[in-house]
Each structure stands twice: as structure tokens, then as C-alpha cells.
């Protein structure tokens, strides 16, 4: 339920997942990219999306990648209106003051520029093909023990942009669909057996049953998992 728990080794797998690619295509369209623009990717991780943005600018303009673990998205070191567009993916859910970050992203975007936010509604996770008692126990465990400030961040993005005073606000829900546990595991770490026990994503006494049930559902072909991510964008 926490997309950062697995850590950076899974970034390439997440990027390659077709469902994540669909989310990012929606976000790219929302940025209204044009040659020569200066773009900020706030929370860039390994920079894979920044490289895609640079390619879409056709070798013109500039893309600056900021990893939120190294830079403070609530206190960016750029002047007002420095960027033509900014994007921020799966960062706000981790912050104590997400609205301060939205205000700062808005500050560094020029009038008429675009702000695009991408985040997850972790409360939307749903599965089928697994025993109901295991699903219920896992959900209770995650909601009670996983440290995350904003499980509902995805569905709050529109409100935050409105309150920040931006205009032409849009919000698009993208339902991610996984028809096998292997594909789901790249985005939903509680379904990834490689995530260490110490991460605490699964009740210790149910771990073996949980992964056995996932394997069996995959073998039967009746597994299903869904998760909704939101792409919200607006004009400064």
C-alpha cells in the first residue's frame, strides 16, 4: 500500500509497468508541452520521467529533475515564475504540509504555465480471487500500521489546486488494472514477496498464507487487483 516502501530498486519495474505508463501519458498531455519550455520534475527519483520529458521537448528547452529526498519541495531554490510547467508525482502523499508544496510549485511557475500533480488514492485498492478473510486482515493491518500521512492524497489534488488559486483545474482518475500477481507486485508492494518482512506490510502470522493465496490465484487465472491514481492539473 506504500509505493515507496520497496525503495529505489523497484523504480525501473514501476516505470516499465503499462498501467503506470498510462498514468504518465495522461500527465504528459496535461502539461501542454511545447518546444523550448523549461520544466521542473519535482520528486524525480532516478530521473526516468525527466528523460522522457526532455525527449518530448525534442532536444530544446530544459528539464530540471529534483529528487524530493534531496531537495525540499516546500522551499525550492528557484525564482518566481522560473518554469513554464512543473510536475510532481507521488510526492505529496509523503509530506507533512502538502499544501505548502503546492503553493511553492505554483510560485515557481510562470503566469499561464501549468502545474500537474500525480498521486495515489491508496484507499481505493481492491482485489479479487483471494480469500476474503485474508484480504480483510491485510487491509486492517495496512491501515493500522503503515506510516503514511495521506492515504487519500490522489482524490484531494483537485481541491488543493483550487484552494491554491489556480484556474482551469482538471482532475482525471486513472484506474490501474492488474490481471496477475506478478504485474501487480511492481506497483503494490504488499503483493511482492521480495519486499522484506521487516517492512511490515503483511501481518507476520499471515505472510505465508498471503503469498500462497496470491500464487494460487495467479495459477487459476482469476486474480484481479485495482488501484486508482489521479492526475490533476491547472493553469497559474
Give the whole-angstrom CA distance, residue 147 versus residue 94. Answer: 9
Task: Answer positive or negative: Cα dihedral of 105, 109, 112, 113.
Answer: negative
- Mean per-residue pLDDT, 175-194: 92
pLDDT higher than 60, residue 232:
yes
- Mean per-residue pLDDT, 35-51: 89
How sure is the predictor about 4, in pLDDT bands with cuts at 50, 70 and 90?
Answer: very low
* Averaged pLDDT score across all residues of the chain: 89
How sure is the predictor about 12, in pLDDT bands with cuts at 50, 70 and 90?
Answer: low
CA distances from 183 to 6, 42, 58, 120 (A): 15, 26, 31, 17
Closest CA relative to residue 94, chosen from 185, 197, 4: 4
Give the whole-angstrom CA distance, residue 44 versus residue 230. Answer: 17
Contacts of 11 (CB under 8 A, 6+ apart): 45, 46, 48
Give the whole-angstrom CA distance, residue 73 versus residue 192. Answer: 30
How sure is the predictor about 181, in pLDDT bands with cuts at 50, 70 and 90?
Answer: very high
Reported as a single tens digit per residue, the pLDDT across 117-155 is 999 998 899 999 999 999 999 988 887 776 557 889 999
Contacts of 197 (CB under 8 A, 6+ apart): 204, 207
How sure is the predictor about 1, in pLDDT bands with cuts at 50, 70 and 90?
Answer: very low
- Cβ atoms of 158 and 115 within 8 Å: the answer is no
How sure is the predictor about 62, in pLDDT bands with cuts at 50, 70 and 90?
Answer: very high
- Mean per-residue pLDDT, 209-229: 97
Residue 46's pLDDT is what? 78
Domains and CATH numbers, the chain: 8-235 (3.40.50.150)
Give the whole-angstrom CA distance, residue 36 versus residue 84. Answer: 9
Reported as a single tens digit per residue, the pLDDT across 68-111 is 755 688 999 999 999 999 999 999 998 999 999 999 999 999 99
CA distances from 175 to 26, 91, 133, 152 (A): 12, 19, 25, 15
pLDDT higher than 50, residue 5:
no
Lowest mean per-residue pLDDT among 7-16, 38-47, 119-128: 7-16
Lowest mean per-residue pLDDT among 12-21, 186-195, 216-225: 12-21
Percent of the chain with pLDDT over 70: 91
Closest CA relative to residue 83, chosen from 52, 55, 104, 56: 104
Phi, psi of 150 (to 5 degrees): -135, 85
Number of H helices, E strands in the chain: 8, 6
**Rounded to two decimals, what is the model's pTM?**
0.89
C-alpha count within 13 angstroms, C-beta hemisphere, residue 193: 12
pLDDT higher than 70, residue 178:
yes
Give the whole-angstrom CA distance, residue 119 versus residue 232. Answer: 9
Residue with the bigger pLDDT between 90 and 1: it is: 90
Amino acid at each position: 500500500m506504500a509505493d515507496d516502501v520497496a525503495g529505489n530498486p523497484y523504480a525501473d519495474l514501476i516505470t516499465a509497468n503499462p498501467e503506470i505508463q498510462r498514468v504518465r501519458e495522461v500527465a504528459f498531455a496535461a502539461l501542454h508541452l511545447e518546444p523550448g519550455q523549461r520544466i521542473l520534475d519535482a520528486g524525480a527519483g532516478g530521473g526516468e520521467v525527466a528523460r522522457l520529458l526532455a525527449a518530448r521537448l525534442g532536444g530544446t528547452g530544459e528539464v530540471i529533475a529534483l529528487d524530493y529526498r534531496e531537495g525540499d519541495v516546500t522551499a525550492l531554490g528557484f525564482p518566481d515564475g522560473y518554469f513554464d510547467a512543473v510536475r510532481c508525482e507521488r510526492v505529496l502523499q509523503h509530506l507533512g504540509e502538502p499544501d505548502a508544496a503546492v503553493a511553492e510549485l505554483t510560485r515557481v511557475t510562470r503566469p499561464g504555465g501549468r502545474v500537474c500533480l500525480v498521486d495515489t488514492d491508496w484507499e481505493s485498492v481492491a482485489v479479487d480471487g483471494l480469500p476474503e478473510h485474508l484480504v480483510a486482515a491485510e487491509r486492517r493491518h495496512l491501515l493500522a500500521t503503515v506510516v503514511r500521512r495521506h492515504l487519500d492524497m490522489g482524490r484531494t489534488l483537485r481541491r488543493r489546486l483550487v484552494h491554491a488559486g489556480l484556474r482551469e483545474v482538471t482532475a482525471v482518475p486513472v484506474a490501474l488494472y492488474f490481471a496477475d500477481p506478478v504485474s501487480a507486485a511492481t506497483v503494490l508492494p504488499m503483493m511482492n514477496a521480495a519486499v522484506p518482512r521487516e517492512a511490515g506490510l503483511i501481518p507476520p502470522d499471515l505472510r505465508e498464507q498471503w503469498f500462497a493465496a496470491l500464487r494460487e490465484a495467479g495459477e487459476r487465472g482469476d486474480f484481479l487487483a485495482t488501484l486508482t491514481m489521479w492526475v490533476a492539473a491547472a493553469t497559474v
